[in-house]
């Protein structure tokens, strides 16, 4: 079945208000989730709500928690999310990074005791919208084995970088694993196979079965280079921000465990380096140079732009299993999901 983006917002708002999540916070969670589905990152969209609802029920997500600032300088801060909704903590963290960048040229905010935040690129986009460069990294519960090993120790550790331009949307938003874990969970839910060269089973053999892959490990992207990069992210979003690392990271995929991962959010104000208009023009010039080099050349961010255009107009598909899960949630929380969809 297909739903529109506004129907998605209504479903999410109905769910979150029943857990007494303040409207402003619920709006942020809905916005980030809609952004994921619009950009085609359905592995991190409304399909994650059964996980979040479980987290709210068992108390690993605390809607009423207050974010506290544990350490602060003119350009840095360390936030304790106190297990609030991850989307809200990361949103507030990036707001703070941008405020600091406005003053000092760079804002660097570390976060611990947060929760799964959806797509990393939403928060780098926040900086881009203020003519800043946004960088977001995070660690997650283990999924990736070191090269040569078969035991998952490293997370899928996403990296998002957004750069302002006048004519182009320039953004990379990706896991450092060959596939986001969410895509494996999505394939499992839909009864699909996963692509080759993405994952190993628990004996270290290649597999296209999502269930075997989730019990085994996901490969890093780009062989040893992806592993090396994920390794560094694990530390910069782990011990640097007083979060867990390696096998100590819990609760990003399993909502029954308190989340121990960390995030590092950076905003850079290019106007503190040179003229912002000249900078943006040069970014556009570079994009033109790249695109002029062939017929079918894409830049990081094109996929998202194309998907947003398409899914905003057409709506997007929800598979039967996900709809069944959302319907069960709606019945339990006493709202009429059919009325929203029939609209
Ligand atoms: N919250 C978490 O803990 C967590 C963990 C891992 C991943 N994620 C999210 O999962 C999502 C999916 O990650 P993924 O690694 O599966 O994404 P992906 O493999 O689909 O890569 C996406 C990125 O590659 C760019 N891209 C694609 N084709 C391109 C081309 N031909 N030329 C240039 N650029 C191109 C896209 O514009 C996009 O920015 C991301 O939003 C990420 O933030 C979140």
Q: Is 343 helix (H, G, I), strand (E, B) or coil?
A: coil
73 CA to centre of ligand 1 in angstroms:
32
Q: Is the CB of 183 under 6 A from ligand 1?
A: yes
Q: What pLDDT score was predicted for residue 343?
A: 75
68-174+226-299, what's its fold?
Ribosomal Protein S8; Chain: A, domain 1 (3.30.1370)
For the chain, first and last CA: distance in Å?
14
Q: Which residues of the chain have pLDDT under 50?
A: none
Q: Is the CB of 298 under 6 A from ligand 1?
A: yes
263 CA to centre of ligand 1 in angstroms:
17
Over the stretch 142-164, which tens digit does the pLDDT of each residue have?
999 999 998 999 999 999 999 99
Taken as a whole, the chain contains a residue count of 343
* Two structure tokens written together for 190: 């839909």
How many alpha carbons lie under 13 Å from residue 31 in its C-beta half-sphere?
15
- Reported as type and span, the H/E element at residue 341 is helix 337-342
Q: Is the CB of 152 under 6 A from ligand 1?
A: no
Q: Which atom of ligand 1 is nearest to the CA of 140?
A: 3
143 closest CA partner among 69, 207, 202, 64: 202
CATH no., domain 1-58+301-343: 1.10.1530.10
Over the stretch 275-305, which tens digit does the pLDDT of each residue have?
999 999 999 999 999 999 999 999 999 999 9
Q: What pLDDT score was predicted for residue 316?
A: 86
Q: What pLDDT score was predicted for residue 255?
A: 97
Count other Cβ atoms within 10 Å, centred on residue 205.
10
175 CA to centre of ligand 1 in angstroms:
6
Q: Is the CB of 90 under 6 A from ligand 1?
A: no
Q: What pLDDT score was predicted for residue 87?
A: 98
- Closest CA to ligand 1's atom 34: 300
The dihedral formed by the CA atoms of 183, 186, 188 and 194, expressed in degrees to the nearest 10: -30
182 CA to centre of ligand 1 in angstroms:
11
109 CA to centre of ligand 1 in angstroms:
22
Domain boundaries defined on the chain: 1-58+301-343, 68-174+226-299, 178-219
CATH no., domain 178-219: 3.30.60.50
| Cα distance between residue 115 and residue 113, in whole Å | 7
Is the CB of residue 33 less than 8 Å from the CB of residue 45?
A: yes
Inter-helix orientation angle 121-128/23-39, to 10°: 100
Is the CB of residue 221 less than 8 Å from the CB of residue 227?
A: no
Is the CB of residue 17 less than 8 Å from the CB of residue 38?
A: no
Q: Is the CB of 303 under 6 A from ligand 1?
A: yes
Q: Which atom of ligand 1 is nearest to the CA of 298?
A: 32
Mutation choice for ligand 1 from 173, 265, 298, CB with most ligand atoms inside 8 A? 173
């Amino acid at each position: 079945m297909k739903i529109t983006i506004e129907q998605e917002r209504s479903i999410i708002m109905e769910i979150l208000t029943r857990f007494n999540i303040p409207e402003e916070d619920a709006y942020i969670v809905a916005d980030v989730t809609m952004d994921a589905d619009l950009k085609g990152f359905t592995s991190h969209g409304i399909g994650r709500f059964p996980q979040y609802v479980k987290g709210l029920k068992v108390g690993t997500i605390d809607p009423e928690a207050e974010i506290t600032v544990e350490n602060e300088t003119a350009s840095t801060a360390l936030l304790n999310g106190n297990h609030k909704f991850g989307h809200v903590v990361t949103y507030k963290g990036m707001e703070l990074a941008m405020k600091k960048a406005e003053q000092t040229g760079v804002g660097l905010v570390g976060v611990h005791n947060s929760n799964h935040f959806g797509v990393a690129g939403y928060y780098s986009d926040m900086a881009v919208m203020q003519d800043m460069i946004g960088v977001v990294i995070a660690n997650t519960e283990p999924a990736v084995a070191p090269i040569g090993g078969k035991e998952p120790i490293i997370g899928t550790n996403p990296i998002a970088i957004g750069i302002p331009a006048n004519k182009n949307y320039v953004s990379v938003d990706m896991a450092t694993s060959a596939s986001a874990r969410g895509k494996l969970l999505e394939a499992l839910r839909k009864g699909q196979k996963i692509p080759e060269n993405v994952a190993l089973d628990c004996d270290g053999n290649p597999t296209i079965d999502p269930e075997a892959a989730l019990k085994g490990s996901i490969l890093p992207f780009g062989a040893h280079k992806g592993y090396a990069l994920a390794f560094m992210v694990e530390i910069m979003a782990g011990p640097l921000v007083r979060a867990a690392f390696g096998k100590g990271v819990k609760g990003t995929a399993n909502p029954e465990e308190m989340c121990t991962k960390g995030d590092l959010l950076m905003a850079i104000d290019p106007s503190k380096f040179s003229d912002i208009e000249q900078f943006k023009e040069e970014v556009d010039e570079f994009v033109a140079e790249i695109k002029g080099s062939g017929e079918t050349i894409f830049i990081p961010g094109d996929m998202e732009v194309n998907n947003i255009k398409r899914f905003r107009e057409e709506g997007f598909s929800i598979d039967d299993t996900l709809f069944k899960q959302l319907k069960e949630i709606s019945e339990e929380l006493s709202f009429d999901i059919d009325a929203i969809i029939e609209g």
